[in-house]
A and B are shown apart, each in its own frame.
Chain A
Amino acid sequence: MMVDIQKIEQLATNRAAEEEVQGRSLFADARRRFLKNKAALISLILLFGVLLFSTFGHLIAPWSNEEIDWGILGRVAELGAPGIENGHYFGADQMGRDLFARVVQGTQISLMVGIVGALIAVLVGTLYGAIAGYAGGKLDNIMMRIVDILQSIPYMFVLILLLVVFGRSIFMLFVGIGLISWLDMSRIARGQTLSLKNKEFVEAAVATGVKPITIVLRHIVPNLLGIVVVYSTLLVPQMILTESFISFLGLGVQEPYTSWGALISEGAGTMQYGTLWQLAFPMFFFIITLFSFFFIGDGLRDALDPKDR
């Protein structure tokens, strides 16, 4: 799992160059290019489908995500297979609970972890980078050295430690993952800010006596938006994968709630026992979502990069 920082930085410089010449029509152009990218378009539709599934799926499920079907408990391999007549469209999990309802609910959690985690990372990273870049000088130096230091701390290990120390909650999960993922974003944002700093509209704002923090929030941050969007689409899958690893360690969400990671690791544990559907369905949603985010990210990057026509 990786996010291609190099390409994003490049995109940032290309765009900065472009904006001076072309101005307004850029986003219209980008949209046209994006819509021409079939893989990205299909991904967008798929992702929308997953979103609909997670939002409205529970309406068509005859079972809730926590109800045990006592009739099949203990004989899931024989009686819990996917079917319409028993009401378990995706079959049942090891505890006789409806897998359809659980996948719906797990999708909600996983998407939420992905999006909230990415949001925190992007928010903190963008602001941090923008402030460092705009301030420059000593403050910039100190702030970026702090990023260096944080980057040398083993990421996954700190996360495990945090979860052990502060107990377990979904909230901590989001915050924990978000808080250790903003470092790359801050570097990108800073680089971008450095080049924006010398633009006329910023200099104009400085000349009219606007406060530095207002300049950062009003003029710098909005101009970072394109790059932030691209980076986010690549960060979301990373968050989802991280969550799945934490769930695998048994440190994830609490029962009766579940997530893709928890469902997949349960399914993987029992796959040789004749209940393959327990792995297949969550895996399917997991994979198409991750695929979609990758293709959308690639598509956005290509669409927003004026160099690639």
Chain B
Amino acid sequence: MLSYILRRVAIAVPTLLLLVVISFLLMHAAPGGPFTSERPLPPAVLANIEAKYGLNNPIYVQIINYIGGIITHFDFGPSFKYKDQSVNDIIAHGFPVTLTYGFLSFLVAVIVGGALGIAAALKQNSWLDYFAVGVSIGAQVLPNFVMAPILVLVFTLWLGWLPGGGWNGGQWNYLILPIIALSTSYMASVARLTRSSMLEVLHTNFIRTAMAKGLPYRVIIFKHALKPALLPIMSYLGPAFVSMITGSVIIDLYFSTGGIGQFYVNSALNRDYAVMMGITILIGGLTILFNLIVDVLYAWIDPKIRY
């Protein structure tokens, strides 16, 4: 087990490095640069700016300097567009925001989706089951760029209950709409998965035996059925968790939360090289980390799996 973890960690480093190099080259290959503007800068001014940011060096020197800066003083470079901030500032500010609403959305998705799924499985083919299945598929196909403006329209303009955007340091009423918008489709997936995997477990022999023995229903469900039913859900939750906490462009765009999702898209469009690189590394690293955690958890829950 330990050697497996070590092997995976060892692979993570070259993976990240490869990611950095590929992204760096791709980004620099994009037409236009960070200082391409509607009013082209005079050559002398452009030269000064490029010298300031080291963009006049050959590309391999730039890559080496960039990676060197990260390794030696954890410096991910400056933002070319938002000049008052460095990439470290942007991530230090944006990532906690994203992490907060992402993590809360994750909790909501798991708790509500899980409960819905279990309830539907226990009352298979009842109105509750149909309702749960219908809602979860409906929620899954409703894109969140449709849902977000509907939420603002209903809760902000018509009902006037909640602010239509902003973050305000993470005050609870500013969190509700982003969390609903982000968690719904994940909640739906969790509900469907839980339902089908729960059904499967309920039909297995050991649960039937337990039933025949006359054990209390509650005990059967929570002591025997739940754990094996959770297994398939685990492998879904890992990637889902990463994609939720690394932010949603749409949530940031519609709710002005200031998370890193919006910075990422803007940086790609602005050719803000360092910001784009920084966020790519952050997300790539997190993806690797959580894939690893899921695999380890999986092995821990299901001892049959060996690496």
Contacts and interface: CB of A to CB of B under 8 A. Distances in A.
Interface residues of A, number: 41
Given A5-B235, A149-B15, A152-B291, A165 B26 contact: yes
Contact of B283 (A154, A164, A165, A261): A154
B143 A7 contact: no
Interface stretch (B92-100, B145-153, B211-219): B145-153
Contacts of B291: 151-152
Interface string A116-154: 000000000000000000000000000001001101111
A290 B249 CA distance: 23
Contact of B240 (A2, A157, A161, A268): A2
A188 to B, nearest CB: 13
Given A151-B291, A164-B269, A279 B146 contact: yes
A34 interface: no
B151 to A, nearest CB: 12
A167 to B, nearest CB: 8
Contact of A165 (B29, B137, B264): B29
A248 interface: yes
A182 to B, nearest CB: 16
A78 interface: no
Interface of A is mostly: helix
Given A161-B27, A271-B149, A291 B141 contact: yes
Contacts of A268: 145-146, 149-150
Interface stretch (A46-54, A79-87, A201-209, A237-245): A237-245
Given A153-B19, A164-B268, A265 B30 contact: no
B257 interface: no
Nearest to A163: B268
B149 A269 contact: yes
B137 A161 contact: no
A248 B249 CA distance: 11
A24 to B, nearest CB: 27
Nearest to A265: B145
B246 interface: yes
A283 interface: yes
A170 interface: no
A110 B129 CA distance: 31
Interface in B28-45: 29-31
A153 B26 contact: no
B18 A149 contact: yes
B176 interface: no
Contacts, number: 111
Nearest to B234: A6
A149 to B, nearest CB: 5
B88 interface: no
B137 A149 contact: no
Contact of B141 (A6, A152, A271, A290): A290
A69 to B, nearest CB: 26
Contact of A248 (B18, B141, B145, B232): B145
Nearest to B141: A290
B143 A2 contact: no
A248 B279 CA distance: 21
B283 A249 contact: no
Interface in B136-170: 137-138, 140-143, 145-146, 149-150, 153, 157
Contacts of B250: 245, 248
B15 A287 contact: no
B14 to A, nearest CB: 8
B284 A153 contact: yes
B246 A154 contact: yes
Nearest to A2: B189
Interface string A74-112: 000000000000000000000000000000000000000
Interface of A: 1-2, 4-7, 145, 148-149, 151-154, 156-157, 160-162, 164-165, 167, 237, 241, 244-245, 248-249, 261, 264-265, 268-269, 271-272, 279, 283, 286-287, 290-291, 294
10 contacts: A152-B19, A153-B22, A153-B284, A165-B27, A268-B145, A268-B146, A268-B150, A269-B149, A271-B149, A271-B153
